[in-house]
Homo-oligomer: A and B are copies of this chain.
Amino acid sequence: MQQTSERYRRGWEMLKTIDGEAGEHVVAALQDIAPDLARYIIEFGFGDVYSRGVLKLKEREIATVAALAALGNAQPQLKVHLHGALNVGCSREELVEVLIQMAVYAGFPAALNGIFALQAVLAERAAATPAG
């Protein structure tokens, strides 16, 4: 069965490592309408591409956050990958830098909307963390 192929299993582990719950929600949300799109995200996006090595996962997430902030037309995915970047070791400060860098190459609106997405992501994570 295709969904338990080696690519699928490798991709699913990678998706959980990087995107965590946010990624699992996307996959779940697709089951009624386009389950194959979820399968391609897992098999191709995570099983093929994210699993290639050479770059550190942190570097892949820097590239992804930069691209999504620059394009500026995919805010939900930008938020998922800001979570992802934090999950694989980027600090808040490093993500601020990636987004400020976008002011130079994609303009201040791209940087601003990226920063406000990061602010929302940090608030979500703070809300999800039980106080000590």
Given the known interface contacts A36-B100, A49-B104, A102-B67, the answer about A113 and B44 at a Cβ–Cβ threshold of 8 Å is no
Cβ contacts under 8 Å, A129 to chain B? none
A118–B33 CB distance below 8 A: yes
Taken residue by residue from 21 to 60, chain A's Cβ proximity to chain B (1 for < 8 Å, 0 otherwise) reads as: 0000010011011101100110011001100101100011
Please tell me if A124 contacts chain B, counting CB pairs below 8 Å.
Answer: no
Number of interface residues of A (CB under 8 A): 59
In chain A, residues 92-131, which have Cβ atoms closer than 8 Å to a Cβ of chain B? 93-94, 96-113, 115-116, 118-119, 122
**Copy total for this chain:** 6
Q: How distant is the Cα of A60 from the Cα of B52 in the complex, in angstroms?
A: 21
- Is A64 on the interface with B (CB-CB < 8 A)? yes
Q: Are A63 and B113 in contact (CB under 8 A)?
A: no
A32, A49, A64, most chain B CB atoms within 10 A: A49
**CB < 8 Å neighbour of A49 from B41, B72, B101:** B101
CA A113 to CA B78, docked complex, whole Å: 12
CB 8 Å contact bits of A68-95 with B (1 = contact, 0 = none): 1111111011000000000000000110
- 5 nearest interchain CB pairs? A72-B73, A74-B109, A63-B66, A67-B70, A77-B109
